[in-house]
Amino acid sequence: MKKCPHCGKEYPDEATVCTIDETSLDPTQLENPMAANKSPYAGYWIRVLARLIDMVFAVFIGFSAGMLAVFIIMALAAAGVISPGWQERIREFSLAPWGFGILGNIAYHFFCEGLHGATLGKLCCGIRVIKEDGSPSNPQGALIRSLAYYLDSFFLGLVALISMDKSPLNQRYGDVWGRTAVVHIRQMTSEPPQPRAPFIPALLAGTGSLTTMLAMGLIYQAF
C-alpha cells in the first residue's frame, strides 16, 4: 500500500497519482522529501499577493467609476432630477458607497472566477480556482467563496489561515463551503481543466460589474 504524503489517503501499489490532491505516488519521488512536499494547491501568501493585485486594480477602476458617476450626476442635475448641493453630499461620509463597493467586489470575483477561474491577480500569480473534483470552477462555487471571503479575511486573514492549515487542499472556509480549491497551474501533474470562458470576457464582465456598482454608490449618495 502507498500513502499520499499530503492528505494521507492510502492507495494500492499500482496507483501513481493521488486522486485528491494530485501528488505523485511514484516511489522515487516519495523518497525525495522535496518532491513529496510539492503540492499543486496554492498556499496562503501567494493568494494574499493575488488579492493585493486585485485591490490595486480596483483602485484604478474606482477612478474610472468616479468619473462616470460625476458625468451621470451632472446630467441628472441639469435635468432637475438631482437637487443642488450634490457636490457636498458626495463628499460626506456614508455607508452606501461602501456597501455598493462590497457588492461590486463580490461581483468582480463572481464573474472572473465563475467563468474563467481567475481574477487579474490570480492570473498574474499563476493560480486558478477549480472545483474539488478537478473540474472547472462554476458560478455557484465562485459566489459562495466570494461571499465567505468577508469571514475568511477577519483578523488580517487569520481565519482563512487556520482553515487552510487544517485542509489537505489548502482550502479556506469559502472553498470548503463552495467545494472549490485554488491551484498552481504549472504544478498540476495532469492537464489543467479548461475554463468555462476565456479570460478577457470574464474580466470584462467582472470589471463592468465593479465599475457599475462603484458608480451607483456615488450616484445614490448624490440624491
Strands 10-11 and 180-184: unpaired
**Cβ pair 90, 219 in contact under 8 A:** no
User: Domain-by-domain residue ranges, the chain?
Assistant: 1-38, 44-222
Structure confidence at residue 187 (pLDDT) = 87
Could you count the other beta carbons within 10 Å of the beta carbon of residue 23? 25
pLDDT per residue of the chain (223 residues) written in tens, 0 to 9: 766 765 666 777 777 777 655 566 666 554 444 344 457 999 999 999 999 999 999 999 999 999 999 999 999 999 999 999 999 998 888 888 999 999 999 999 999 999 999 999 999 999 999 999 999 999 999 999 999 999 999 998 999 999 999 999 999 999 999 999 999 999 887 788 899 999 999 999 999 999 999 999 999 999 9
- Provide the pLDDT for residue 30: 45
Q: What is the pLDDT of residue 132?
A: 92
CA geometry: angle 28, 133, 26, nearest 5 deg: 5
Q: Are 78 and 143 in contact (CB under 8 A)?
A: no
C-beta contacts of 91-97 below 8 A and 24+ residues apart? 92/221, 94/221, 96/217, 96/220, 96/221, 97/214, 97/217, 97/218, 97/220, 97/221
